Structure 1
């Protein structure tokens, strides 16, 4: 039972917290550990002894029913908890890097000196509102705000459910109230073949035939750039796969369905990521290993590309190595935004590159979005679309549905038809048969 102490003008209540004091050897004794409080909230004293006694009874009720939060645990500071939480997560290296960045930049600086158990809903709502105001001033993006609040919600949920640092989360999910604010989304246009042709042409002048093929591959397969594209190895490209697959069991299974003489297809087996500052091959996002049929024109393009180099990567950087961080500095900005004419170290002169207005400031990931739009326009089934995009269809529909060869053949046919229709509209520029990659850097 709790007991109340009255000292001068203050009232304090003590209760057993469910633990026992240990001896010098660390073994528990029969002496109980007690916790105490001078008020129901920090800075708010008890009004009388009855209130203090009932408060103690409530704490002991929590102890008996396994709901008690030890005060020493609830006082864990956020600047300690955040990093302990991150170390305990089983995540991919890229996810760890993103979480660490968000914790370091916004969450720990703001919440670091707060005790985990003392954070209130009022304080959380005020912080969230400050982030939304910063997004409205375009200091940060609305997407970034969503990622920060989502991460904070995970921290608080785990503090309640897994680590018993507080009794409930201050992040309360509820139906929308108050003034409606429409979320600001990235402006997108339907992906047009003319825009893709401009991008592919620019990519050719920056990156050679590899760049030309790179743009069309994203648009006509929906592969995730950059990881899945940079991680595509020669043995998983349509001219060689599945005969070159290193897995004997998968190779034998796939040879009856795919191949250059049956239905050309490539295999999304890896994505390229940085782990601890080093390049690594890991499974694709959500472990979405998948086989993607390719239309005949793209298969021929890949065959020509592989014949032009001996790199293990289908899309090597200039010089033959694996593409990496140089993409965002020396490649994509010039492909979408243009670049002045320049002379290379050799006798080769790169022409002036015109910007693509529809893509200036945009992400190359939008080409993947455009592929999904094409599949919908062509009337493919949901299971065919989601499987191709590397998504799982939940529920009974996903359990009973399956991507069949007929579905795949129809996808390849509609994509080939789209390609042929575009080239039949007029005389478009196309690069000559590829030669070996130049060795110089694409820097301007």
Structure 2
């Protein structure tokens, strides 16, 4: 005997019963659209299931049958299409999806609703067996966002297991770093000069003195570098006209103007070609440079006619080569003498720099910040120079003033002068 109320219908068919409930929607012909579920052997249980669905519909947590049946592969397409992130972030997320998540669930022909807690754990086990801990964690982070974003349209709750901190605190391991000394930077610069010429020498000192990110240095072109900038600024944004005028009054050559580099972009690969992108976190900024570095930059640009401030060995962008493998490892770790018919060119032996041996190029950026902190510059000036957002009231009310910039130039120049005195034994 069927059990019926206004919105829930239970009816027997053979040895089982089916419950139907009104979805809250209407068909094009004006009739109510119903959803259903069969296979019940207890009429009361079936009826309660229908009532629960009505409760979910009233409270906005109901997942329609057709939505719950959405395949994971289709949801991944929708999720990727809706991404709105920076180039590097989007590339990372897309790589996780296409390399690990999509192949796994496509093979299973799984719907989003099929991914319950057990399916989630099975995928996590699969990823952990294939990747190192850091890479596996990144894939699971992306997968967690994908499932979280499926709530409440495709699934009622996310099966993602959140790590809750319980028990004894365990400190995360931190990369071991040594203090960056001017002597170490000078040796790195000399090594870089051996590897790719004067551009290498100036590249190392520019990174150490400005804290620029590698991709920002790789993409630095003449129009944004002293002594050309700000006079050669392309001024692409009409809304920034006030800043452009202020830059002309504040930076440049001669008199009281301060030499500076403008960070407007970085280079990254996209669609199989090297392209310009905004700097990470849209951290457009102006970086004053000490006098010695301004002189080095002017001499370097005078010595070549490339658009790139720091051209690679063959003249192109350093972003187009595997810098870590082709350049940095020899610069930091040292290399044997290179000669003979099978080598690209003779090159003397390169000594290792102990404090950077086996370490990342990025630690030059870390060292740049440490120098600014040691010299006692304001937190806002330091973080702004590094391209970081300063949170809270300090970030809203503070600004980088001319005296702050001159103080930075002064202390950086003093580090260079002190190095020259120690190397030559003469006062600079």
TM-score under structure 1 length normalisation: 0.84
CA RMSD of aligned residues (A): 2.7
Q: Which residue of 1 aligns with 2:30?
A: 30
Distance 1:301 1:35, change over 3 A: same
**Which residue number in structure 1 is paired with residue 23 of structure 2?**
17
1:393 paired residue among 390, 396, 416: 390
Larger % of helix: which? Answer: 2
Paired residue for 1:260? 253
C-alpha contact 1:243 1:251 (8 A) present in aligned 2:
no
Q: Is the 8 A contact 1:234 1:314 kept in 2?
A: yes
2:137 pairs with one of 146, 151, 160: 146
- 1:230 aligns with 218
Give the structure 2 partner of residue 124 of structure 1. 120
How far residue 92 of structure 1 moved from its aligned partner, in angstroms, is: 3.5
SS at match of 1:18: strand
Q: Is the 8 A contact 2:15 2:41 kept in 1?
A: no
Question: Partners of 1:76 and 1:178 in 2: how far apart?
Answer: 40
Residue equivalent to 1:104: 98
2:150 corresponds to which of 140, 144, 159: 159
1:187-198 equivalent positions in 2, closer than 5 A: 187-198=176-187
* Alpha-carbon shift at residue 421 of structure 1 (Å): 2.1
| C-alpha distance in structure 2 between counterparts of 1:246 and 1:170, whole Å | 50
Count of aligned pairs = 408
Q: Which residue does the alignment assign to 2:3?
A: none
Q: Deviations over 1:185-225 (max 9, x none)?
A: 43333323333223212111110010111111111101111
Report the Cα offset of residue 277 of structure 1: 1.2
Unaligned runs of 5+ in 1: 22-27, 39-44, 429-444
Q: 1:353 aligns to what?
A: 350
Deviation at 1:386, TM superposition (A): 1.2
Deviation at 1:348, TM superposition (A): 6.3
The DSSP-based 3-state class of the residue aligned with 1:342 is coil
Matched, 1:246 2:234: yes
Corresponding residue of 1:343: 339
Distance in 2, Cα, partners of 1:355 & 1:278: 33
Shift of 1:308: 0.7
- Change in 2 beyond 3 A, CA 1:395/1:310: same
TM-score after normalising by structure 2: 0.86
Match 1:309 to one of 290, 304, 308: 304
Q: Structure 1 residue aligned with 2:207, among 201, 204, 218? A: 218
Return closer, same or farther for 1:185/1:152 CA change in 2, 3 Å cut-off: farther
**Residue 405 of structure 1: how far off its partner (Å):** 0.9
Sort the Cα spacing of 1:159 and 1:352 in 2 relative to 1 into closer, same or farther, 3 A. Answer: same
SS at match of 1:281: strand
SS in 2 for 1:4: strand
Q: Which contiguous aligned blocks of 4+ residues in structure 1 show a shift greater than 4 angstroms? A: 125-131, 178-182, 344-348
The residue that corresponds to 1:422 in the other structure is 419
